[in-house]
A and B are shown apart, each in its own frame.
Chain A
Amino acid sequence: MIFQKYSSFLLALIVFAVLFAIGMVSPSMWQPIALIMFYIAMGQAFNIFMGMTGYVNFGYVAFLAIGSYGMALGVSRFYQTGIGLWLLFVGFALAIVMAAILSLLVGGIALRLRGAYFAIATIGVNEGLKYLIEGGKFWGGSEGIIISKPMRATFGRHLANSLSTFWADVFLFIIALLAAYLTFRFMHSRVGYALTAVREDEDAAKVMGVNATKYKLIAFIVSSCVAGLIGATTWCLKSTYVFPEDVFEISYTVEAIVIVMLGGSGTLLGPIIGGLIYGICKYWLAVLLPGLQLLILAPLIILIIVAFPGGIVGVIRERIRGTVLDQVIV
Chain B
Amino acid sequence: MLSGNLLNGIILGAVYGLMTMGLSLIFGVLKVVNVGHGAFIMLGAYVAYWMFTLFGLAPILSVPIGLILGMALGFLFFYLVMKRLLDAPELSTLLATFAIGIFLEEIAKVVWGPDFRGYSWDVGTLHLPIATIPMAKIYALLSSIAIAIALYLWFKKTRAGTALRCLVEDKEGARVCGINVTGFYALSFALGLGFTVLSGVLLTLFIPVGISPYMGGIYTLKAFVIAVLGGLASPWGAFFGGFIFGLVENGSYSLLGLIPNVEPFSLTQFVAFMVLLVILLVKPEGLLGEK
Contact = CB atoms under 8 A, between A and B. Distances in A.
Contacts of B123: none
A127 B277 CA distance: 12
A302 B103 contact: yes
Contact of B266 (A54, A134, A299): A134
Nearest to B275: A124
Nearest to B265: A135
Contact of B281 (A109, A141, A142): A109
Interface stretch (B139-147, B175-183, B191-199, B224-232): B224-232
B85 interface: yes
Interface-centre pick from A120, A250, A258, A301 (highest chain B CB count, 10 A): A120
Interface in A263-281: 265
Interface stretch (A110-118, A182-190, A223-231): A110-118
B232 A116 contact: yes
Interface string A131-153: 11011110001100000000000
A305 interface: yes
Q: Is the interface of A mostly helix, strand, loop or mixed?
A: helix
B161 interface: no
Nearest to B107: A295
A121 B276 contact: yes
Nearest to B88: A309
Interface string B210-226: 00000001000100110
Contacts of A132: 267, 270
A287 to B, nearest CB: 18
A124 B276 contact: yes
A103 B97 CA distance: 27
A295 B103 contact: yes
A112 B277 CA distance: 12
A85 interface: no
A198 interface: no
Nearest to B98: A254
A309 B228 contact: no
A265 B269 CA distance: 33
Given A124-B225, A128-B270, A306-B81, A294 B264 contact: no
B44 to A, nearest CB: 20
B280 A298 contact: no
Interface in A86-129: 109-110, 112-113, 115-117, 119-121, 123-125, 127-128
Contacts of B262: 135-137
B124 interface: no
Interface in B25-62: 27, 31, 33
Given A128-B274, A132-B267, A134-B263, A120 B95 contact: no
B158 interface: no
Interface-centre pick from B92, B95, B110, B261 (highest chain A CB count, 10 A): B95
Interface in A31-76: 50, 54, 56
Contacts of B217: 250
Contacts of A306: 81, 84-85, 96
Nearest to A115: B90
Contacts of A120: 33, 224, 227-228, 232, 276, 280
Contact of A124 (B33, B100, B267, B277): B277
B164 to A, nearest CB: 20
A113 B100 CA distance: 26
A125 B269 CA distance: 11
A123 B284 CA distance: 15
Interface of A: 50, 54, 56, 109-110, 112-113, 115-117, 119-121, 123-125, 127-128, 131-132, 134-137, 141-142, 250, 254, 257-258, 261, 265, 292, 294-295, 297-299, 301-302, 305-306, 309
Interface of B: 27, 31, 33, 81, 84-85, 88-92, 94-96, 98-100, 102-103, 105-107, 110, 217, 221, 224-225, 227-228, 232, 256, 261-270, 273-274, 276-277, 280-281, 284
